[in-house]
Each structure stands twice: as C-alpha cells, then as structure tokens.
C-alpha cells in the first residue's frame, strides 16, 4: 500500500504539468486546426488609395484628379501631361463669373489660349442644393456664355479642397511638366476697374506668356476674388 501511495504521489505533479502545457487547438471534430494564414500585404494601388491626398502647392506637382464632364465623360488631369493646363473654378450663377464671361477677360480668353494648344478646364465644386449646382444648370451656363471647353463637376468638393479653391473664378496654371506654377485671380480688376495702378493686369495671361517664352512665372500667386466656392459645409 505504501508503494502504491508513493507512485500516486509521483504521478500527480506529472499530470499537473501536462494540464498546464500549451497544446495545439482542435476543432469540433477533434482534429488539430491549421494556424491562421497571415493577412496579405496591401497592393501598391490600395496603399496609395489609402494614403492621404497631397495638397496643391506652388512649385510642386499639381494634384491629379479624375472628374466627369457635363456629358458624364471622365476627364483625367494626368492625360494632359506635356501640355499647359488652366483650371478655372466655375459657378454659372456667380455674378463675378457672369461679369468675367460676358464683359471681362474670360469672354474669349479660353478660346484664344486653346487655339495655342493650352488645355482649359472649368471645375464646379458646388454641392447639391447650392447655387450653380447640377449638370443642367451648368449646361445652360455653358450655352449662355458660349463656353467651348469642358466643365467638370466636383460635387463632393474633394478636388476643390485639395487645390484650396476658395472663389469663383479661382485660377490655376499647370505647366507641361505637371507643376503648379500659378494660382489666384484672373486679373486685378474684380469689377472691371484695376485695384492697383490704372492698368488692368491679366495675371493668367502673363503666366501663360512666361511659360510660352520658357521663363519662370514672374508672379506665381495673387489673391483670388469672386463668390465663395459653394462646398457642402458652407
């Protein structure tokens, strides 16, 4: 009896160790479950999509974008690499836009520049329910003002906010290398009268002339004037 008790005493510690030792997990059928497969690394495209979008900065690559025109066709900024591009923030019902497109420099400027090979894109970042929003309203404005270049809709305002567009019109010039080289007002005459000196200065035409002459843009930034861009939060 003493021998049996001794053997039992020796067996108890061994059982305790066996109960506390980690073992492979089993499924309901009692078979050992395979270890979980590691999560696949995100693809470069997915990682790029998840990364925060770069903000527009003078002297840096202009943020790329894809927007639809009034006919639903996608327009991709990167497709115009190698060409000078003008971006015009647009609202057909804004009085400043109306003035510029009927009496001011925007009446025929885009057409003249496009004939030289410049790409001109108007962008409306107005949200649903805001002034100047909607394809039909913009189609009417395009006809009224005789606009021949595309008008792109940015209803969520993502592109406008990346570029820091605050006014209509707010103008941007991108050089053939894709670099943002000008942003600001169309000129120094919000209501037709110059705000500095006695001469109207068309800042956008001056920037385009500098690019055509292959020299740095002399005045890369000015303060835009016009109506506020009608983002969803405003």
pLDDT per residue as tens digits for the range 128-166? 999 999 999 999 999 999 999 999 999 999 999 999 999
What share of the chain in percent tops pLDDT 70? 76
Question: What was the pLDDT predicted at 193?
Answer: 74
pLDDT at site 23: 36
Per-residue pLDDT at 180 exceeds 90: yes
Is residue 55 one of the residues assigned to a domain?
A: no
Contact between residue 58 and residue 183 where contact means Cβ atoms under 8 Å apart: yes
pLDDT at 231 over 50: yes
Structural domain of 147: 68-228
The Cα-based distances of 193 to 159, 196, 222 in angstroms read 31, 9, 17
- Residue 51 included in any domain: no
Q: Beta partners for 63? A: none
Confirm whether 25 is domain-assigned.
no
181 domain-assigned: yes
Of 3-12, 95-104, 181-190, the one with minimum mean pLDDT is: 3-12
12 occurs within a structural domain: no
CB 120 within 8 Å of CB 86: yes
**Domain annotation covers residue 87:** yes
**In 3-state terms, what secondary structure has residue 125?**
coil
Question: Which residues are CB-contacts of 158 (< 8 A; sequence separation ≥ 6)?
Answer: 53, 65
Is residue 41 in a domain? Answer: no
pLDDT in tens, 196-222: 677 999 999 999 999 999 999 999 999
pLDDT of residue 39: 44
Per cent of the chain over pLDDT 90 is: 72
Look at 46-50, 54-58, 97-101, 146-150 and tell me which has the smallest mean pLDDT.
46-50
d(CA 112, CA 71) in angstroms, rounded, equals 24
Give dist(CA 72, CA 99) in Å, integer: 28
Tens digit of each residue's pLDDT (9 = 90 or more) over 52-75:
567 999 999 999 999 999 999 999
Asked if 160 contacts 154 with a C-beta cutoff of 8 angstroms, the reply is: yes
Q: What is the token pair recorded at 41?
A: 């690394």
Residues 91, 157: Cα–Cα separation, whole Å: 13
The CATH number that applies at residue 126 is 3.40.30.10
**Residue 169 preceded by cis peptide, ω within 30:** yes
Give a yes or no: residue 162 inside a domain: yes
Per-residue confidence band for 16, with pLDDT thresholds at 50, 70 and 90: very low
State how far the Cα of 64 lies from the Cα of 21, in Å rounded to an integer.
Answer: 57
Given this model, what pLDDT does residue 53 score? 61
Q: How many independent structural domains does the chain possess? A: 1
């Amino acid at each position: 009896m003493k021998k049996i008790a001794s053997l039992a005493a020796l067996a108890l510690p061994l059982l305790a160790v066996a109960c506390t030792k980690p073992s492979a997990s089993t499924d309901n059928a009692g078979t050992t479950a395979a270890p979980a497969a590691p999560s696949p690394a995100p693809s470069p495209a997915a990682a790029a999509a998840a990364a925060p979008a770069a903000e527009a900065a003078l002297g840096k690559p202009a943020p790329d974008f894809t927007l639809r025109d009034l006919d639903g066709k996608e327009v991709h900024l990167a497709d115009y690499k190698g060409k000078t591009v003008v971006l015009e923030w647009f609202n057909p019902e804004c009085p400043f836009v109306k003035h510029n497109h009927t009496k001011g420099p925007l009446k025929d400027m885009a057409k003249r520049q496009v004939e030289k090979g410049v790409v001109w894109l108007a962008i409306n970042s107005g949200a649903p329910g805001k002034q100047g929003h909607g394809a039909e309203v913009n189609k009417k404005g395009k006809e009224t003002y005789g606009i021949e270049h595309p008008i792109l809709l940015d209803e969520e305002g993502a592109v406008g906010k990346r570029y820091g567009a605050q006014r209509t019109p707010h103008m941007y010039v991108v050089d053939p290398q894709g670099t943002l080289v000008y942003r600001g007002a169309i000129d120094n005459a919000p209501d037709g009268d110059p705000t500095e000196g006695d001469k109207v200065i068309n800042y956008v035409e001056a920037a385009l002339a500098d690019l055509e002459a292959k020299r740095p843009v002399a005045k890369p930034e000015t303060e835009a004037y016009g109506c506020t861009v009608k983002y969803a939060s405003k």
